[in-house]
């Protein structure tokens, strides 16, 4: 049998989470964000499951082309736009939409003829990453309106930097800044990412851009998906491949960082950082086994990790272990690893087998 380490992806959970995004912002259309291989879930399968979203957002041309080759016909927005003028031909050939965030991109569009390209003009209201400065917005807007190679009307967007923290005052400042910047411009607007949708109703626009929430993960720094009625899309499982009885004083794993305080059973699970499980989890980070939380002991290896089975001596070789999913939120494991759920989902490696279930 092939390695039991597998990610089971629930397509019905994806659809459910999209429905929550609609429920929480009923007047907005959904630009569903499926960059980075659908946050690690498989971009084609995710796009198919989210087929009722009004549009899809990806980071780069390669991702967009993959979607077109898979038969996805919806609008696809390149969130970073393009870097080279020659890419405009590819954008037109695949009927893609562009984010325009800097003047070099404006100039390319002004030089270009051909089928008009749908454009989202991006303004930087405090993220400090991509986007025209607020003072440049009106100028960029009128230049785009004059472009023959640009489909009208142009939409306007910005991105929130701190919306994951519901006590941070930056978000209100960004929202005020955006409202002032677009005053008098008759355009469709887009601000909200998942945190905006769930936590900042003032950020809802003609278009919202849900990402992480679609995968059943909370965008906030202090809660989990269940608090928002979201369902985890990924269940990450493996199995016990050994149960060893150790003596008091025995060391477990590389570096001998765990010393058995007494005679005890130690389980070995077939998953490690070579599968994308984080190596730097805090001591005592749990897995779920027989519906119970069992702590990891010692250093996570490339292919394996070890468990303290003192509270579960009945555990046996072949038993299923959940690393994250319905019994154990990925948010919890991410906090134990000093990161966010986004990163854990994106970093599973190709050794993990993916199963798609309804």
Ligand X SMILES: *Cc1c(COP(=O)(O)O)cnc(C)c1O
User: Please, which residues have CB within 8 angstroms of residue 176's CB and are 6 or more apart in sequence?
Assistant: none
Residue 232 binds ligand X, judged by CB under 6 A: no
Q: Which stretch in 65-73, 192-200, 237-245, 264-272 sits in contact with ligand X by CB under 6 A?
A: 192-200
What's the rounded Cα separation, in Å, for the pair 28 and 34? 18
Q: Which DSSP helix (H) or strand (E) runs through 2?
A: none
CB atoms within 10 A of CB 284: 11
The phi, psi pair for 307, rounded to 5°, reads: -125, 145
CB atoms within 10 A of CB 338: 11
Do strands 29-33 and 207-208 pair parallel, antiparallel, or not at all (unpaired)? parallel
User: Considering the complex, what minimum distance in angstroms separates the CB of residue 31 from ligand X?
Assistant: 8
Q: Which DSSP helix (H) or strand (E) runs through 132?
A: none
- CB-CB contact of 195 with 161 (8 Å): no
Q: Which stretch in 167-175, 188-196, 296-304, 315-323 sits in contact with ligand X by CB under 6 A?
A: 188-196
Nearest to 46 by CA among 25, 16, 15: 15
When the beta carbons of 33 and 72 are compared against ligand X, the nearer one is: 33
User: Considering the complex, what minimum distance in angstroms separates the CB of residue 280 from ligand X?
Assistant: 23
User: Considering the complex, what minimum distance in angstroms separates the CB of residue 314 from ligand X?
Assistant: 40
Nearest to 271 by CA among 260, 259, 287: 287
When the beta carbons of 40 and 267 are compared against ligand X, the nearer one is: 40
**Residue of 193, 238, 285, 288 interacting with ligand X (CB under 6 A):** 193
Active-site position among 35, 122, 215, 277: 35
Nearest to 157 by CA among 184, 176, 132, 194: 132
Q: Which stretch in 16-24, 177-185, 206-214, 302-310 sits in contact with ligand X by CB under 6 A?
A: 206-214
Residue 212 binds ligand X, judged by CB under 6 A: yes
Residue 155 binds ligand X, judged by CB under 6 A: no
User: Considering the complex, what minimum distance in angstroms separates the CB of residue 158 from ligand X?
Assistant: 9
When the beta carbons of 15 and 310 are compared against ligand X, the nearer one is: 15
Extract the runs of DSSP E, i.e. beta strands, from 231-303: 234-246, 251-252, 258-259, 264-269, 286-289, 292-297
User: Considering the complex, what minimum distance in angstroms separates the CB of residue 163 from ligand X?
Assistant: 8
Total residues at the site for ligand X (CB under 6 A)?
Answer: 12
Residue 159 binds ligand X, judged by CB under 6 A: yes
When the beta carbons of 120 and 277 are compared against ligand X, the nearer one is: 120
Q: Which stretch in 145-153, 177-185, 191-199, 253-261 sits in contact with ligand X by CB under 6 A?
A: 191-199
Site for ligand X, residues 5 to 44, rule: CB under 6 A: 33, 35
Site for ligand X, residues 68 to 97, rule: CB under 6 A: 79
In degrees, rounded to 5, the angle at the alpha carbon of residue 333 between the alpha carbons of residues 198 and 268 is 150
Would residue 254 show up in a list of annotated catalytic residues for this protein?
yes
**Residue of 38, 210, 267, 272 interacting with ligand X (CB under 6 A):** 210
Residue 219 binds ligand X, judged by CB under 6 A: yes
**Residue of 211, 216, 265, 267 interacting with ligand X (CB under 6 A):** 211
Q: Outline where the chain has alpha helix (H).
A: 11-24, 35-39, 43-49, 61-69, 87-93, 103-111, 137-145, 170-181, 194-199, 330-336, 341-346
Residue 117 binds ligand X, judged by CB under 6 A: no
User: Please, which residues have CB within 8 angstroms of residue 354's CB and are 6 or more apart in sequence?
Assistant: 6, 7, 8, 9, 41, 42
| Closest residue to ligand X in the complex (CB) | 211
Q: Which residues are catalytic?
A: 35, 254
Report the interface residues with ligand X, using CB under 6 A: 33, 35, 79, 159, 193-195, 209-212, 219
């Amino acid at each position: 049998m092939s390695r039991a380490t597998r990610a089971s992806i629930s397509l019905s959970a994806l659809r459910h989470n999209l429905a929550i995004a609609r429920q929480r912002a009923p007047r907005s259309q959904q630009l569903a964000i499926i960059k980075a291989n659908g946050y690690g879930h498989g971009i084609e399968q995710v796009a198919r499951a989210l087929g009722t979203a009004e549009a899809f957002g990806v980071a780069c041309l390669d991702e967009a082309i993959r979607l077109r080759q898979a038969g996805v016909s919806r609008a696809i927005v390149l969130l970073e736009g393009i870097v080279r003028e020659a890419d405009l031909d590819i954008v037109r050939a695949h009927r893609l939409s562009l984010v325009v965030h800097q003047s070099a991109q404006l100039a390319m569009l002004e030089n270009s003829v051909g089928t008009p390209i749908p454009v989202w003009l991006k303004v930087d209201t405090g993220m400090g990453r991509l986007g025209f400065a607020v003072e440049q917005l009106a100028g960029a807007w009128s230049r785009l309106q004059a472009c023959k190679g640009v489909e009208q009307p142009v939409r306007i967007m910005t991105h929130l930097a701190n919306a994951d923290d519901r006590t941070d005052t930056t978000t209100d400042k960004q929202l005020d800044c955006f409202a002032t910047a677009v005053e008098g411009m008759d355009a469709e607007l887009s601000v909200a990412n998942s945190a905006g949708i769930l936590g900042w109703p003032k950020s809802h626009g003609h278009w919202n851009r849900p990402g992480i929430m679609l995968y059943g993960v909370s965008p906030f720094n202090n809660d989990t998906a269940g608090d928002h009625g979201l369902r985890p899309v990924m269940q990450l499982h493996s199995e016990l491949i050994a149960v060893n009885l150790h003596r008091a004083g025995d060391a477990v794993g590389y570096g001998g960082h765990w010393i058995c305080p007494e005679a005890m059973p130690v389980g070995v699970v077939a998953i490690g950082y070579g599968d994308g499980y984080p190596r730097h989890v805090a001591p005592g980070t749990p897995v779920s086994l027989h519906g119970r939380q069992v702590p990891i002991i010692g250093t996570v290896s490339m292919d394996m990790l070890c468990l303290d089975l003192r509270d579960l001596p009945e555990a046996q070789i072949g038993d299923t272990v959940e690393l994250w999913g319905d019994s154990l939120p990925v948010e919890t494991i991410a906090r134990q690893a000093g990161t966010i759920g986004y990163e854990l989902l994106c970093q599973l490696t190709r050794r993990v087998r993916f199963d798609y279930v309804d």
